[in-house]
Amino acid sequence: MPETALLKIRLFGDAALRRKAEPVKPLTPRHREILSQMAQVMYAHAGVGLAAPQVGINQAMIVADTGSGLYKLINPRVIKREGRQVLEEGCLSIPGVCIKVKRAGKIKVLAEDELGKTVNIEAEDLLSACLQHEIDHLKGKLIVDYASFFEKLKIQKKLQELKKKAKDEGVPRAETKSCPLQL
């Protein structure tokens, strides 16, 4: 695994974002270190969630903080979905793009915490959308995959620009502000 001090957010067009993350097994101190570095990266970019593939690490780990405290989750999966909600979501890996995403309203997530203990999380509203967004990242799925035909037309140019930038280092911070919810 790469040096965590060099964790950089990968941009749309980077193959790392389309890979399916490997389950974490066994859990090592190195994973805990990566999780805490991921949290730092998320806060530094004013995000409320971040998945390991977004920093080029192909492991099933996510962090999230939608205002009710920091979650560091390993091997998370949605085990129950209820209802519907639509939120405008941005993505730290797709700066400047906002997509209306239809997701389950209430969910139950099963995961392990950073000590390997099983955790059950019931989430709704923002936390629910955030966890579903991050778990999507672990499957190589991105918000652009939810875009309607017209949204796709609207963001086409932006995505082309990002693909060109994907090889450059880092994310232009000002651009990430264009959508209030950065995940």
Does 183 contact Zn ion by CB under 5 A?
yes
Q: How far is CA 3 from the centre of its chain?
A: 20
Q: Tell how strand 49-51 and strand 99-103 pair up.
A: unpaired
For the residues of 70-117, what is the DSSP string, one character each?
Answer: -EEEEEEEEEEEES-EEEEEB-TTSTT--EEEEE-SEEEEEEE-TTS-
CA pair distance 50, 141, nearest whole angstrom: 13
User: Torsions phi, psi of 82, nearest 5?
Assistant: -145, 140
Please pick, from the candidates 73, 91, 97, 135, the single residue that binds Zn ion as defined by CB under 5 A.
Answer: 91
- Which residue's C-beta sits nearest to Zn ion? 91
Active-site position among 3, 134, 151, 169: 134
Please state the closest distance from residue 92 (CB atom) to Zn ion, in A.
6
Per CB under 5 A, 147 contacts Zn ion: no
Residue with tokens 């490997």: 22
Stretch that binds Zn ion, among 24-32, 90-98, 153-161, 168-176 (CB under 5 A): 90-98
CA-based nearest residue to 94, from 30, 144, 36: 144
- State in angstroms the smallest separation of the CB of 182 from Zn ion: 8
Q: What is the closest distance, in whole angstroms, from the C-beta atom of residue 118 to Zn ion in the complex?
A: 25
Return the number of the residue (34 or 144) whose C-beta is nearest Zn ion: 144
134 labelled catalytic? yes
| Beta carbon of residue 13, minimum distance to Zn ion (angstroms, whole number) | 14
> Considering the rule CB under 5 A, would residue 144 count as an interface residue with Zn ion?
no
- Residues serving a catalytic function are 134
Binding residues for Zn ion (CB under 5 A): 91, 183
